[in-house]
Structure 1
């Protein structure tokens, strides 16, 4: 999975490629609350019910990864790392 862009405070796009479920280029994901315990599809961290998570936006045909979730804190960490690498000065 690759973080592509933050579109709004509650929507992001991700590129998702998986040998078993296919390829989703710039798939829209939205911020919601975890309904059950799970694990983050990106980093494997445990997710508790009620945690802030992103999940694929469902429109039209249901994608194979419709039930997958990613911790919001994982996306925030990725965004922070991207910002640091953009603004770091080479040594």
Structure 2
């Protein structure tokens, strides 16, 4: 996994997201959702969306089959249904 300077993103509903590490297929994220959950180092994997939804960062629609990142932890975390569109990370700049 490529280590990168920590990148902070603003999520919907006050969620704070920090990208601690990233590669083309995986992320390590610090996820802070006030009043609900806090994950200091949560692993996310790139996959195709199984259902339609909304990107947690851009609020854009995600369609079934779109490339997304989702939590990969077991047992399923409280934010297991959340998706971030993979295109968000293409817009963050060089590695």
TM-score by length of 2: 0.74
What root-mean-square deviation, in Å, do the aligned CA atoms of Structure 1 and Structure 2 show?
1.6
Structure 1 runs of 4+ aligned residues shifted over 6 Å read none
User: Which structure's CA Rg is the greater one?
Assistant: 1
Deviation sequence 1:11-56 (CA, Å, 0-9, x none): 1111100014211112100000011211001121111111000000
| Offset at residue 71 of structure 1 (A) | 0.3
Structure 1 residues 40-55: aligned runs within 5 Å: 40-55=55-70
Q: Does 1:17 align with 2:32?
A: yes
Aligned to 2:19: 3
Q: Distance in 1 between matches of 2:64 and 2:35?
A: 26
Distance 1:43 1:4 in 2: 19
**Corresponding position of 1:65:** 79
- Structure 1 spans left out of the alignment, 5+ residues: 85-91
Q: Secondary structure at the match of 2:47?
A: strand
The structure that is strand-richer by fraction is 2
Aligned residue pair count: 79
Gaps of 5+ in 2: 1-16
TM-score between both structures, scaled by the size of structure 1: 0.77
8 Å CA contact 2:46–2:70 kept in 1: the answer is yes
Determine if the alignment matches structure 1 residue 32 to structure 2 residue 51: no
